[in-house]
Chain A
Amino acid sequence: MIRTKLTTTAAVTAAAALLLTGCGRSADGPAAGEALELSDDAAAGTVTVWAQGTEGEALKEFVAPFEEANPDVEVEVTSIPWDSAQNKYQTAIAGGSTPDIGMLGSDWLPGFATALTPVPSEIDTSGIFPFAVESANIDGTLLGVPWYVETRVIFHRTDLMKEAGFEEFPTDWDGLKELARAYKEKAGADFGIAIPAGGWNGFIGTLPFDYSGGAEVMDADQQEWTIDTPEMVQSLEYLKSYFDEGLADNRPSTETGSASANLVSGSVPMFLSGPWDIGGLETAGGPGFEDKFDVAMIPAAPGATSKSFAAGANLAVFKGAENPDAAWKLIEWLNQPEVQVDWFETVRDLPAQQSSWEDDALTSDPMIAVFGEQLESVGIAPTVSTWSEVSAAADTQMERIFRGGADVQETLTELQATADGLGTSR
C-alpha cells in the first residue's frame, strides 16, 4: 500500500518535473524576473494562501489582526494535507492554478524556482537566521521569506541517564558513545541510541553528525560535491561503530512515532529529532513524563564544534499570483518579530526572526532554549536541484554501510562519483 503510494508520488513528481522544465524553456528563460515594487497603500483585495496541516488550520484565525489593520483585504487560507503536498503544488504550477502564497518546505525551492517571484526589496530579511535566508536564495535571487525554522537535537531519558551513572549530557563523540553503552549495560535498554540505518532520508539523518565532525556535503559556493572527504569518512565510521558494537539497531522500525515510543518504553533512550517531538513525547509519555526526558545539542568530534541540520518552511509568491502586492504585505506582516512570537505561542513553530528569541515566551522554556542555542550553529541541505537525486543515492549507500557492513571509504568514493555524474546544475 505504502509502496504503491510512493511509486505514484515518484511518478507524478517526475511527470510534473518534465512539464515544469518544459514550461521553463518555453517561457522567457529560467531567470526569475524583476522583483515587484510594493505600493505604499494598505493591502487590499483577496489574498489566497495554501498552508499545510496545523499551520493551515491555525493561520485562518491568526490573520485577523492583519485584516483589521487592512480593512480592504481578505485572506483566504486553504489548509492542505502534508501527505503529497509537494505533488499538489507541482500539479498546480503545471496547470497554472496556483494560489498567491504557498508554504514551501525549505528544500523545495530549487525545484520550484521557475514558478516563483523574487522577494521585493522592501521586505527586510536582515534579522532572519542567515541559514534560513540561504535556503531561499536560489542562484543569487531570494525567492521566499523564511517563516519558521527547525533543527535536530538529541532527545534523551534523564532518569535512565542517572541510572546509567551520568550527571551531564556529553558534549563530545566519545562521551556520547559511553553514554549509549551505559544505557544499554546499566539502565536495561536494548540499544543506546536510534540512528537511521538507511531508507528514505537516511542520509539527512546522519548530517548532524557529519556537520559536527567538520564534514560538508558541498563546498561553500555549491560548485562541487565534497562527499568522499576524510571528515565524512570519519563521521560515518563513527556512526557505523554504533551498529557494529550493537549500540544501535540496524533494523529499526521506520513507522512514524516508533522512535518516541521506544524512548518512552526505555528500550532506546536516545534519538535525534526536531521541536515537534517535545509535544509528541509529552503525549506519548502521559502525565509526569516531561520530567523524564530532555534535549541536548549534538555532541561534536574532537576539535570540531556542534553543528546540526536545519530546515523549515518559506513563504513564497507564485508567478501566477493575482494579488502579489497584498500577498507580499501579508508575508511582511507574518515576519515581524512580535507576530512570530505570537505564531510560536499558537502552533509552537520556531521563529525565523532572531530577535523573537529574546522574548520570554521562548527564553522561559529550557528545551526551546536548547533549540535556540543549536540554531546558532547549523547547516542546511544543498540548494542545487540535483540534491534530491544525490540524497536518494546516498540513502541507499548508507543502508549498505550500516546494514550491509560495506567499507565506508569505498562506498563514499562510489557515491562521490554518482554525485559528480549528476552534477550541480540548478
Chain B
Amino acid sequence: MEKIDIIESRAVLVPVDNIDTDQIIPARFLKTTEREGFGEKLFYDWRYDADGTPVRDNILSGQEGVILVAGNNFGCGSSREHAAWALHDAGYKAVVSSSFADIFRNNALNNCLLPVQVSEEYLAKVTETLGKAPDTVLKIDLGEQTISVPGAGEYRFEINGYKKECLMKGYSDIDYLLSDKESILRYENSRQEGGKR
C-alpha cells in the first residue's frame, strides 16, 4: 500500500460548508462494480451541466494541487467510499477542513487520503490566505502532525497513533485484523460459552 509522509503542494480551495458525498460523486456513477474510473467523476455536477457540457468558471476552475481545502463538515451524507476513491484517483493526497463526517474520515484513512482537521479559526486564516495568494504552497508533515501555510502559520493536528503508523508505513486495517484471527476466535468462543449470539 501507498504511504504518506510529507505532502507539499498548492491547494484547491472550495470554501463551502457541508460538502456532501453526493456532491463529491453523484449516485448515478455508483453503478459500476469496478474500482476504477472515479477520479473523472469527482465533483461532476459542479463541472458539467445536465447535458454534459463543461461549466465554465466553476468553483474548481484554474485551481491545481493535491491538497483540497474545504469548508466545515466535509464528506457528510452517504457512506459511499467512492467519494474517497474519486478524490484519491483524481490525485488528492489530503483534505483540510474544520470537521469531517465520521464515515468519510474512515474511508479516507483506508485509502491513503489524509483528513487534516484544523480549528475553525485556522481554516478561516488558510482560506483567506489562499483567496489572496492562490499559488501558496502548503506543507503537511504527518510525522510531525503539522500543516504549515505561509501567511497563515502552522497548526498541529490530531490523529491517533495507530492510524498514523498505518499511513506512514503503508499498513492496512484488514491486514491487521487478518494477522490476529486468534483473538477473534477466542472472542467468539467466550461468547458462545456465555450463551449469547
Indicate, yes or no, whether A interacts with B.
no
Measuring CB to CB, which residues of chain B are less than 8 angstroms from any residue of chain A? none
Give chain A's interface residues, CB within 8 Å of chain B: none
